[in-house]
Copies of this chain bind each other. A is one copy, B any other.
Amino acid sequence: MKIAEVSELHGITPDTLRYYERIGLIPPVHRNEGGIRDYSELDIKRVEFIKCMRSAGLPIEVLIDYFGLVQQGDRTIEARKEILKEQRELLLARMRDMQETLDVLDHKIEVYENAVLKKEKDLVQENRVSEIL
């Protein structure tokens, strides 16, 4: 699969895919005779995983470390698990922050909602209905 297809399929620009390869987040992708990248199933699995993790804000460095361990085989399973657990905790913490902010936002929106209603009511009472339409 060529870079443009992978790009379209996963909503990642070719530039970003090449960038990921340059910095070692994706291992060197196999090329055809013309030197053009041909992404394997496995490469694509990796891209999907990366996209998922990045969409939640996991840092690229962490992912590089993780894949480095994967490459070193079974004896790194424990270390990999620890990385994932740590990122899981960080993710949860961020989600809790966001939930708090969401609550604040919801509250403020409601307050504004009421403010708007009150203003309209006032206008109606003053017989200035035309202004609210």
Which of B95, B112, B113 is in CB contact (< 8 Å) with A98? Answer: B95
The minimal Cβ–Cβ distance linking A128 to chain B, given in whole angstroms, is 14
Query: Is A100 an interface position by the 8 A CB rule?
Result: yes
Q: Cα distance A52–B113 when bound, in Å? A: 21
Interchain CB contact (< 8 A) of A95 among B52, B78, B87, B95: B95
A-side interface residues toward B, CB under 8 Å? 49, 52-53, 55-58, 74, 77-78, 80-81, 84-85, 87-88, 91-92, 94-95, 97-102, 104-106, 108-109, 112-113, 115-116, 119
CA distance A46 to B113 in the complex (A): 21
Q: Does the CB pair B57–A112 fall under 8 Å?
A: no
Establish whether residues A77 and B108, one from each chain, have CB atoms under 8 Å apart when the complex forms: no
Q: Are B97 and A84 in contact (CB under 8 A)?
A: no
Name which of A109, A115, A119 has the most chain B CB atoms within 10 A of its CB: A109
A105 touches B91 (CB 8 A): yes
Q: How far is the CB of A81 from chain B (nearest CB, A)?
A: 4
Q: Is the CB of B99 within 8 A of A95?
A: yes
Using Cβ atoms and an 8 Å threshold, which residues of chain B touch A77? 112, 115-116, 119
